Amino acid sequence: MSPSPHLASAGGDPDPQPGNDGQSQPARQPRTNLFLSAQLSLPGEASRPVRVRNLSASGARIDLPQPPPRGSTLLLCRGAAEVAAEVMWSAGSSCGLRFTEIIDVARWMPDRPGAAAPAKAREPSLAEELALARRLVDRLEDALSSEPAVVAALGKELQALDLLGQLLASSEKRAAGSTVPAIRSLWQAIATFLRTPPASGGRA
């Protein structure tokens, strides 16, 4: 799927890189610092995993080996959420994206603890059980990813937790009767991950 070339005219560029072109940058929209896995797809290429480092309604900064060059168009997916984007800058192992449309940032983030739900007399549905399991996985991932030593030793395995959270989110939506158009790319990402050897955990 080729992203649309018409970009959202929002003043929310991802992190600018000094010295790229000397041009002044517009005021950015509020950004949320993250440690989330997603999938990036370039036209004519297989999807590959990336790490979203910060996110706003109109753009993001992502980390990945050999990022695409400035001006590339791509599709960024996380679970059922997806958005087309253009690469605004590329340096080292990071690049900045500007989305073709304004997104709902909350859809891309793990659920955060909120007010307790009222007690229900009926048995929970499958969708509700999957939602609860997803929240537990997201909470565990957030706690582990906040520890630099854990990230350094088990960064690859943290990706497994993130993929599990995305799979639970997709299963939750399907159990609730919603369609999940990006599920096939998620399955492919999980299959690719499972073919890689596990991390050593820092053991000699």
Whole-number pLDDT of residue 5: 40
146 CA to centre of own chain: 17
Q: For the whole prediction, is pTM greater than 0.75?
A: no
β partners of residue 87? 97
Rounded CA separation 177/4 (Å): 29
The reported pLDDT for the residue numbered 180 is 65
Q: Using DSSP, state whether 88 is helix, strand or coil.
A: strand
Tell me the angle at which helices 183-194 and 148-175 cross, rounded to the nearest 10 degrees. 140
pLDDT at site 36: 86
Phi, psi of 50 (to 5 degrees): -135, 165
Per-residue pLDDT of the chain (204 residues), as tens digits, is 444 444 443 334 445 444 444 444 444 555 566 778 899 999 888 889 999 988 999 999 999 999 999 999 999 999 889 999 999 999 999 999 999 999 998 888 876 554 444 444 567 788 778 788 888 888 887 887 778 887 788 777 877 878 887 888 778 777 877 776 667 787 777 888 888 877 654 443
- Give dist(CA 8, CA 18) in Å, integer: 23
What domains does the chain contain, in order, with CATH numbers?
A: 1-109 (2.40.10), 122-194 (no CATH)
